Every structure is written in C-alpha cells, then in structure tokens.
Amino acid sequence: RRYYRKADAVVAVSRGAQKDICKFLELPCELVTSVYNPIANQGLYTLSRDEPEHPWFERGSVPVILGIGRFVAQKDFPLLLDAFACVRRQRKARLVLLGGDESSEEQRCVQQELLAQARRLGVENDFDLPGFVGNPFSFLSRASVFVLSSRYEGFGNVLVEAMLCGCPVVSTDCHSGPAEILENGKYGKLVPVGDAAGLAEAICSTLDTPQDEKVLRARGAEFSVENAVLHYGRILLGQECRSG
C-alpha cells in the first residue's frame, strides 16, 4: 500500500476497478485513473477469418452458444449450463465451452462436474467441451452468441474480443467491466449475476434479434493499442484527468 501512495499515478483496467483501488487501498481519487486494455489488433482479425475445427460451427447449422474461460468458480459455467437447458427447452441450440487447463486437477474436476450436470439436465448431446484451442477467435466469428456468465471480472477482455469478431454478446452484470464495455446494455444484454432464467431469456432474445455486426466491431475497435497509448502518454505527461 505504501508503494501505491508514492506513485505519481495508479492505473486500473476499468472504472469499477479504479473505484475499488481507491476504496480498499485508501488512495486519494485524484491519484487513480483507468485505461482500458488494448485488445483490437490485426492479428485478431486475421485469426478470426479461419474456420473453426469443430463440426457444429458449419454455416447454416444449429445456433451455437459459446463460452470461453478457465474452469473455475469465478466463471460460473454451471449457471450458463442451467441457462442453456432453459434455452434448449424452447428451441434447437448447442453450447460449446472453450478453455480449461488439463494440468489443473481443479479445472479437470469442474469439467467432469459440468458433464454430469449436462446429463442431469438432459442436454449432453448438445453440449461440448473441446478444451483449450489455439485460435478461439475463429470460434467467436462463427458463434451465434457469446455469453459471459462470470460472478466477477477485472475487465472482461473476451467480451471485446467477441465484438471484434462480430459476435453478439450477453453478459452477467458482474463487477467490474461488462457494463462499461457494453455501455450498460447498449451493445449487449446484461443480466443479474446468478440469474439463470434471466440469462436464458437474454440469450433467446439475442438469438432472435442479434446486434448488428458492424456496430459491434466498431465498438470493439475502440479498445485499441492506439487509444491505450494515447491515454498512457497523457498520464506520463501529467495531462490525463485523474478522476477517470
């Protein structure tokens, strides 16, 4: 804490994280600012044009709901699976969860629990866990909707990545990041944390009326290296407004 107080500026990845730093580290608000993570880059666009190595993502097939992340409690994939079961009772759809660390016993256990949950819910034939993939952007560019079901986030980079790939998004309104990225629902539906029925409703609504791909890409492009460099430059020059 004393090192933070000696800094000329402290940078958080979101306004929500900025407030947390001020509160929990008891720092003066004028010392702390926020700069969003630089995510948009040409490499992402290039990778998004590849075909995903999965038969469910062929064009014209059953809509695929996609989740990405570590298999830990924070990501709350059981909530997403419960929501998917609600969706599946109303329409044809599939759920794919990418990620996980096979070297982590904890994450392997979570994967097995999810498979057991899918069987209990009767959706095991429409649910898949491909594990870690080298190019998740190819999946994002073909998915019908990306869902972030987290209990909390520092920022939520994957929401921006999804939008850059033109993928409609739904997210829990967790602390912090998603509401800022989606501008309080302008670019994707926000659902209370832990609300499976609300998440299912938001997914169905997005499948029926997806956000415009060009609008999503334009919003995602705002989280660029150029914008981050501009903000950091202003901070280093003492010109950035430290109130955020």
The predicted structure's pLDDT at residue 61 = 84
Ordered by start, the domain boundaries in the chain are 2-38+224-236, 42-221
Of the candidate CATH numbers 3.40.718.10, 3.30.365.10, 3.65.10.10, 3.40.50.2000, the domain formed by 42-221 belongs to 3.40.50.2000
Given this model, what pLDDT does residue 242 score?
44
Is residue 24 within a helix (H) or strand (E), and if so which, with residue range? helix 15-24
Q: From the first residue on, what is the mean pLDDT of each consecutive set of 10 residues in the chain (244 residues)?
A: 83 91 89 93 96 92 96 97 99 97 90 98 98 96 98 95 98 96 98 99 98 98 95 83 45
Q: How far is CA 27 from CA 33, 59, 155, in A?
A: 11, 51, 20
- Is residue 235 within 8 Å of residue 33, measured between CB atoms? yes
The Cα–Cα gap between 19 and 180 comes to: 13
What does the chain come to in residues? 244
User: If you write DSSP's letter for every residue of 160-174 in order, what string do you get?
Assistant: HHHHHTT--EEEE--
Quote the distance between the C-alpha of residue 3 and its chain's center. 31
The number of CA neighbours under 13 Å toward the Cβ of 167 is 32
Quote the pLDDT of residue 244: 45
